[in-house]
Structure 1
Amino acid sequence: MPQQAKGPRLYRRKDTGIYIIRDTGRGERSTGTRDRRQAEAALAQYLADRDRPSGPATPDEITVAEVLSIYASEHAPTVADPARIAYAIEPLVRFWGDLPASAIKRETCRAYGRQRRKVTKRDPKTKEVLETAPVSVGTIRKELGTLAAGVGYCASEGYLVNPPTVHLPTKPQPKDRWLTRGEAARLLWAAWRNPEAKHIARFILIGLYTGTRKTAILRLRFMPNTTGGHVDTLNGQMYRRGSAQLETKKRQPPIRIAPRLLAHLRRWESRQDRWVIEFRGQGVGSIKTAWATAVRDAGLSNTGVTPHTLRHTAITWAMQAGGDIYEAAGYFGVSIETMFKVYAHHHPDHQSDAVAAVGRGGRKL
């Protein structure tokens, strides 16, 4: 009897230690790595590419994983921040797996949302994650939006005919959580007095004075670069994007730096720091743990305070101080529509003409 084909598998060469992919009847392909995890990722990509349909497929003939693989390999490299697409695809693939695209229905989209909102639980012995971490409705909506974009891309590029509809949860109301002056002071002091969270104090100051988004703050340096923004302390300017970064919907216009913040930045730069936010001489990729510690020490736990709250706070304070709404929109990189929808009611002159007109009881001046 002929031997049964083993299918695609990894094999490590004894002479070089590099993993190769063996697939009966298709020859061998090098992964170019000695790392097992990287080799497994290469095998997964090989499987996705190998099984990709060569012509238009119906929703029953193509899996959701294949749809997302096509979208990730062809479209993601063309966007300004492909990592955002990767972050969304990971949980989508875990849930949908090898289900056909025809499985995308209203109820399965709801089931995805329920699964993403489960509480994290781990096996007490192996510590293996048994359930996924809970996420917000907004995050679920973004992830399903990525699935919808992937389906739309495959349809437009001729990979998929009669594409299914991805049903998104209702868009949540914009958050209006901002810090009072007292809360901001407590948070800043809690971060500063903790030796392991002093870099968060810098982060808080920049967030409150500029309303810059978290990722952009963490990428700031004192010299121009291609991967992030920089501060020009000589001329008092902040450039929130690197020279090689493309403009996205998350607008990041250059801004002038407030005098009080500029004094801090000049002092930090004089210490020969390379990154604006540093920890032990290195740039910071994540502030999740240190931020949680500062929030807890400030007595703000369970109040919905996140790094993005600093952005809301900066814009809200600008409105409360009577700043021009159109100039503020340009400074913070916010659309006029969002300014009127989310922040305008904080302005002392908000609807003042309408209130005065109503008070006149229909009489003209």
Structure 2
Amino acid sequence: MLYYVQEHAETTAHPELIGYHMMPLNEFFGGKMVSEVDKKACRDYRKLRQAGELGRRAVKEATARRELETLQAALNFAFEEKRLLYPIKLKLGEKSPPRVRYLSRSDVARLLGSALGFVPAYCDVETRQPGGWCRMHRPQYHVARFILIGLYTGTRHDAILKLRWQRHNSDGGWIDLNDEILYRKADGEGETNKRRPPLRIPVRLLNHLRIWRKHSALGPIEYNGEMIAKMKTGFNNARDRAGLGRDVVPHVLRHTCATWLLQSDETIWDVAGYLGTSEKVIRDTYAHQETSSKEAAKTRFRGR
């Protein structure tokens, strides 16, 4: 039964099998036999999820596919553990092309300004661009710090929030200001598919970190003397005041970092190492922004 696969997944150290994705999956597949999970069942699941007839709200096709990928991971794990006699291959549907939302430099300026409490005093009638910024809200320094760290390092949301100023016993990384290295995971912490390699702190960020260290005891993303678990309300408020769309979420900072690096003629290999991902992911997701190889191709036959 499918419910056994879920139960088994939740007792393992495989976080990709656990969480919100299992709730609508269990609602649809929970009472079925494994043999009933065929092409039609997967197609019906995607259709019901997109229509809002399954789960709490309607979702896009990409979300429904991602949920089926979670189920596929659970089934694969169950087969590897000899809980299933045969491997089960799901029909996930067509994979949507990656949609990469990244910020321009003016977008970042508006986002940072909003996080620090500034709002535009007026908008130009012709260009519709904001101007004459004035402070109208209480500055949210921890939000501004989060934005800058994400922008300069491309570190993922959760890893940024767990950063401390010193080594610690929890599951997060730390910032070594002496050797100028940012460790994105704790010493001895196991590696997952979302790799978190250490990186040399960029000079521009390093100057900010040295200042922030004087004003916070635990870590850079500290609020009222405590580390926060999620960057949601503060970021969303800054985004809305900046006039940016709902598609601007914290992960956009990672996309922006990768895009700006590629636009600065960094190689795919260097960007992949900097972000802690594979060259394939960078090539498939951001290849349209990569210019160094194109410039090299333009000059390859000069003088011949």
> In the alignment, which of 81, 89, 96 is matched to residue 22 of structure 2?
89
Instruction: Check conservation: 1:176, 1:342, Cα contact below 8 A.
Output: yes
Q: CA 1:272 to 1:288, structure 2 compared with 1: closer, same or farther past 3 Å? A: closer
Q: Against the structure 1 CA distance between its residues 67 and 196, is the aligned structure 2 distance closer, same or farther, given a 3 Å change threshold? A: farther
For residues 277 and 91 of structure 1, do their structure 2 counterparts lie closer, same or farther at Cα, with a shift above 3 Å needed? Answer: farther
> In the alignment, does 2:4 pair up with 1:66?
yes
User: Taking structure 2 as the reference length, what is the TM-score of the superposition?
Assistant: 0.83
TM-fit CA distance, 1:261: 1.2
Taking the aligned partners of 1:345 and 1:111, their CA distance within structure 2 comes to: 34
Which one of 242, 255, 260 corresponds to residue 298 of structure 1?
242
SS at match of 2:292: coil
| Residues 66, 196 of structure 1: alpha-carbon distance in 2 compared, 3 angstrom cutoff | farther
**Matched residue type, 1:267:** I
CA positional deviation for 1:227: 0.8
Query: Alpha-carbon deviation of 1:356?
Result: 5.0
The whole-number CA distance in structure 2 between the counterparts of 1:258 and 1:239 is 13
**How far apart are the structure 1 equivalents of 2:166 and 2:194?**
23
One-letter identity of the residue aligned with 2:149: I
Letter aligned with residue 264 of structure 2: A
Q: 1:155 aligns with which of 65, 71, 79?
A: 79
Structure 2 unmatched ranges of 5 or more: 118-136
Residue 238 of structure 1, CA deviation: 0.2
Q: Select the structure of larger CA radius of gyration.
A: 1
Letter in 2 for 1:240: R
Change (3 A) 1:202 1:155: same
1:168 to 77, 92, 105: 92
1:145 is aligned to: 69
Q: What residue number does 2:214 align with?
A: 270
Counterpart of 2:256 in structure 1 is: 313
Decide whether aligned partners of structure 1 residues 346 and 109 sit closer, same or farther in structure 2, where only a CA change above 3 A counts: same
Residues 223 and 230, structure 1, Cα contact 8 Å, conserved in 2: yes
Does 2:46 align with 1:103?
no
**Is 2:176 the partner of 1:232?**
yes
Question: What is the identity, as a one-letter code, of the residue corresponding to 2:214?
Answer: S
Provide the rounded CA distance (Å) in 1 between the counterparts of 2:23 and 2:248: 26
Superposed CA offset, 1:8-49 (max 9, x none): xxxxxxxxxxxxxxxxxxxxxxxxxxxxxxxxxxxxxxxxxx
Alignment of 1:326 with 2:269, yes or no, is: yes
Larger deviation: 247-256 or 149-158?
149-158
Bigger relative contact order (CA 8 A; separation at least 6)? 2
Which stretch shows the higher mean deviation, 111-120 or 282-291? 111-120
Partner residue of 1:189 out of 92, 113, 117: 113
SS of 1:231 mapped into structure 2: strand
1:64 partner amino acid: L
How far residue 162 of structure 1 moved from its aligned partner, in angstroms, is 4.3
Aligned residues: percent identity? Answer: 37
Encode CA deviations 1:150-173: one digit per residue, 9 max, x unaligned: 223333333333454322132221
Q: Counterpart of 1:51? A: none
Per the normalisation by structure 1, the TM-score is 0.70
Q: Decide whether the 8 Å contact of 2:52 with 2:59 is kept in 1.
A: no
Q: What is the alpha-carbon distance in structure 2 between the residues aligned to residue 119 and residue 292 of structure 1?
A: 25
Q: Cα RMSD between the aligned structures? A: 2.6
What is the number of residues matched between the two proteins?
A: 284
Q: Distance in 2 between matches of 1:196 and 1:112?
A: 45
Q: Which runs of 5+ in 1 are unaligned?
A: 1-62, 121-129
1:251 matched to 2:198: no
When residues 347 and 86 of structure 1 are mapped into structure 2, their CA distance, relative to the original with a 3 A threshold, is closer
1:118–1:132 Cα contact (<8 Å) kept: no
